Amino acid sequence: MTDVALSGLAPERATRVRDLIADVPNFPSPGVLFKDITPLLADAEGLADVVEAFTRLALADGVDVVAGMEARGFLLGAPVAHALGLGFLPLRKAGKLPPPTHSVSYDLEYGSASIELRSGTLTPGARVLIIDDVLATGGTAAAAAELVEQCGGVVSGLAFLIELEALHGRDRLHGHNVDTLLRVDTPSGD
């Protein structure tokens, strides 16, 4: 069951966006139902609807800059930043940005990872909207919020295309505004 929820997007448009997201069973491993946003990205109207919905959130929250988590958050966040006339901050996996960087490490079910932001790219006090495609367990999103705050930014909100409610990722983001377009009650990969 999928619930269409993002404020500012009419139900019929949100349903169309949902229908453009493909379910890929057993990817990247057996038993996982992967939510593939590639058909949505390839559809000009669907992509425009998502950008419009995220843009409305940013306007409501009073955002100064948009950040996206690697890699699909780049594909959604950069056009939102452009639509708002704002800058875009890529939050990258460790080792992908030239030094100096700020870094936050976080635990995964199979180990740990780090996310980085290039030093000097975030103005202290700037209000940041963090965007990504999927909210699963919330580990990466919580690390992204911590990284923005560590660099002196203020997290105005986190916005996701899809939330996998069964994984309770929202619980790890307490104290932050969290918005999602599609809420799915069964787990899948991100």
What pLDDT shows up at residue 189? Answer: 46
Residues with a known catalytic role:
72, 109
pTM for the structure as a whole: 0.91
Q: What is the 3-state secondary structure (H, E, C) of the chain?
A: CEEECCCCCCHHHHHHHHHCCEEEECCCCCCCEEEECHHHHHCHHHHHHHHHHHHHHHHHHCCCEEEEECCHHHHHHHHHHHHHCCEEEEEEECCCCCCCEEEEEEEECCEEEEEEEECCCCCCCCEEEEEEEEECCCHHHHHHHHHHHHCCCEEEEEEEEEEEHHHCHHHHHCCCCEEEEEEECCCCCC
Token look-up 């800059």 returns 65
What pLDDT shows up at residue 57? Answer: 83
What pLDDT shows up at residue 109? Answer: 67
- Mean pLDDT in consecutive groups of 10 residues from the start of the chain, 190 residues: 57 87 92 92 96 88 94 96 97 96 88 94 98 94 98 96 93 93 67
What pLDDT shows up at residue 149? Answer: 98
